[in-house]
Amino acid sequence: MNRWLDRLITLLLAALIGWGGWSTLHWLIHGADWSVVTTNLPLYAVGSFPADQRWRPLVWMVGLVLLTVLTLLGPKRIGWRGALPLLWIAMAPIGLWLLVGGLGLLPVGTRDWGGLTLTLLLTAGSGMLALPLGVLLALGRRSALPVLRWSSTAYIELMRAVPLIAVLFFGQLLIPLFLPPGLEINRVLRAVVAFALFAAAYIAEDVRGGLQAIPPTQREAAEVLGLSPLQSLQLVVLPQALRIALPSLTNQAVGLLQNTSLMALLGLVELLGISRSLLANPAFIGRYLEVYLWLAAVYWLCCTAMALLARHLEVQLDPVRSNR
């Protein structure tokens, strides 16, 4: 009887998948009009960056793609692999320089940033701010000093209680209120700061999980060896804790990339924002399905690439493997 049930389920599912596949195929051939995607590719990639300067964000993104491919598929056991981490770290200042301009390049205002470039930049910028802040908060929450412990815990718990969209929205409204009059920071930077303040609370909890997994004997051993508390933290405890926290940090990073789409609700023209303005254009009215499928594919690719890179890093850092 069980076998018959199994066959019935298979048959039903096959029928369902066949029907879904057939109607998708039918729509792709007869219904879909991809002009909303094909004619606007530059907009999706770089937003309204000046046309003669578009090569700058494009060079940066091509660099990122090349580096990803090299890291994941490049030949193993070759000396230059040691340079890869440095190259990855260098991509941030290079990207900023290419986008902002100066030092021989024409300056471009943040108003003209958009598309995938802005999405990647928001992710990278807020991630780089959030990681050190999160580590500090995690250390603070585990500190022996009550004042430090209470204030870190309060910050983490409050931030984790509110929805991200509220933090972003009030970040735009409130950050100017708390700054001295006359000092203004622009919208993109405000978004990055609010985003980082939010993400840091979640990163702190992941790092704390890693710190809790380190047995106290490690710290004691470091003390016996004559390491100062700071040295023991920096050389013994943190490297191990971060490695343990890496899988959950990866999830945070993928979440960070996905959540940059919320900036569209605040009027930033990152990937989703630019699509919203395209869909409001009478020439492309009603082309929701094409645009959303295209966006889903782009986001899916970026997130999957990030997850694969993080998995690669995990394997690289695995102590069993590197001791061999």
Partner 1 sequence: MRKRRVLVQLALAALLVGFAALLVNNLTVNLIRTGLGLGFGWLGRPAGFALAETALPYAPSDSYLWALTIGWLNSLKVIVAGLALATLLGVGAGAARSSGNRLLRSLAGGYVALIRQVPLLLQLLFWYFVAFLGFPETPVGGLIKLSNQGIAVLGLNLSVEFCAVLVGLTVFTGASIAEIVRGGINAVPRGQWEAFRSLGLGEGLGLRRIVLPQALPAILPALTSQYLNLAKNSTLAIAVGYADLYAVSDTTITQTGRAIEGFLLLLASFLLLNLLISGGMAAVNGAVLGRLRRSR
For partner 1, the binding residues (CB under 8 A) are 2, 6, 9-10, 13-14, 17, 144-148, 151, 158, 161-166, 169-170, 173-174, 176-181, 254, 258-259, 261-262, 264-265, 272, 288-289, 292, 295-296, 299-300, 303-304, 307
> Min. distance of Cβ 63 from partner 1 in angstroms?
23
> Min. distance of Cβ 58 from partner 1 in angstroms?
23
> Min. distance of Cβ 201 from partner 1 in angstroms?
12
Pick 104 or 181: Cβ nearer partner 1: 181
Pick 2 or 217: Cβ nearer partner 1: 2
> Min. distance of Cβ 30 from partner 1 in angstroms?
16
> Min. distance of Cβ 276 from partner 1 in angstroms?
8
> Min. distance of Cβ 129 from partner 1 in angstroms?
18
Pick 189 or 289: Cβ nearer partner 1: 289
> Min. distance of Cβ 272 from partner 1 in angstroms?
6
State the residue for tokens 């039918």.
26
Of 24, 36, 13, 8, which Cα lies nearest the Cα of 280?
A: 36
Pick 9 or 221: Cβ nearer partner 1: 9
Please state, as a whole number, how many other Cβ atoms lie within 10 Å of the Cβ of residue 150: 13
Pick 131 or 159: Cβ nearer partner 1: 159
Both tokens of 149, joined, read 């412990």
Both tokens of 92, joined, read 């941030």
Q: Which amino acid is at 10?
A: T
Pick 98 or 167: Cβ nearer partner 1: 167
- C-alpha distance from residue 6 to each of 1, 11, 312 (Å): 9, 9, 38
- C-alpha distance from residue 93 to each of 79, 121, 262, 280 (Å): 24, 11, 25, 35
DSSP code at position 181: T
Cβ-Cβ contacts under 8 Å for 205 (sequence gap 6 or more): 138, 156, 160
Query: Is 279 in contact with 287 (CB distance < 8 Å)?
Result: yes
> Min. distance of Cβ 18 from partner 1 in angstroms?
12
- What is the DSSP track for 18-65? HHHHHHHHHIIIII--THHHHTTHHHHHHTT--GGGTHHHHHHHHHHH
Pick 168 or 222: Cβ nearer partner 1: 168
Query: Is 196 in contact with 126 (CB distance < 8 Å)?
Result: yes
Both tokens of 110, joined, read 């943040």
Cβ-Cβ contacts under 8 Å for 53 (sequence gap 6 or more): 101, 105, 106, 108
Pick 59 or 265: Cβ nearer partner 1: 265
Residue 316's H or E segment, with its range, is: helix 288-317
